């Protein structure tokens, strides 16, 4: 099944590379990776994107990359930008398996990515990486939707 991965991007690409490897993106079929940076952010984020792009090209992965700059100054506007970006992929890829990868980038951007993905109403998974890369947690998106008191 085609995978669509949404991921905030920080100053380095380690969490993105880990997700590409762990999920086997672009190895068996055409997958898509939507990366999100803060609008008018630090240029190191663009450098990290360049390294991700170089890796994808070097290994000849069938992985479509998309880089979108997001308004982090207006939380709901930014979450909406992410939702619309992901909707375009969902419409084109025909029922992809959705993954939200959290680990790098600004915390506010991570929450915008998570809420933008939740707003799609699709089933999917959240992967949360520890900053020290010693572990991770995975949970279904439905676990967040179904939280009760």
Q: What is the DSSP track for 42-93?
A: -HHHHHHHHHHHHHHHHTT--EEEEEEEE-SSSHHHHHHHHHHHHHHHHHHH
Per cent of the chain over pLDDT 70 is 98
Are 7 and 101 a contacting pair, CB within 8 Å?
Answer: yes
* Residue 125, beta-bridge partner list: 99, 140
Is this structure's pTM higher than 0.85?
yes
Per cent of the chain over pLDDT 90 is 81
66: tokens are: 């998309």
- What is the torsional sign of CA 33, 38, 40, 41? negative
What is the pLDDT at residue 149? 64
Give the pLDDT band of residue 2 (cuts 50, 70, 90).
very high
| pLDDT tens for each residue of 47-90 | 999 999 999 999 999 999 999 999 999 999 999 999 999 999 99
């Amino acid at each position: 099944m085609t995978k669509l991965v949404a991921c905030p991007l920080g100053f380095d690409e380690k969490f993105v590379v880990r997700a590409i490897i762990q999920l086997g993106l672009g190895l068996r079929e055409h997958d898509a990776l939507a990366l999100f940076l803060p609008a008018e952010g630090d240029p190191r984020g663009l450098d990290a994107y360049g390294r991700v792009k170089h890796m994808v090209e070097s290994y000849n992965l069938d992985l479509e990359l998309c880089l979108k700059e997001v308004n982090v100054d207006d939380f709901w506007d930014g979450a909406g930008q992410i939702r619309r970006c992901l909707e375009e992929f969902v419409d084109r890829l025909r029922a992809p398996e959705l993954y939200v990868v959290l680990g790098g980038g600004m915390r506010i951007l991570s929450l915008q990515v998570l809420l933008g993905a939740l707003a799609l109403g699709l089933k999917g998974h959240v992967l949360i990486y520890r900053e020290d890369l010693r572990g991770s947690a995975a949970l279904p998106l439905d676990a967040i939707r179904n939280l009760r008191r």
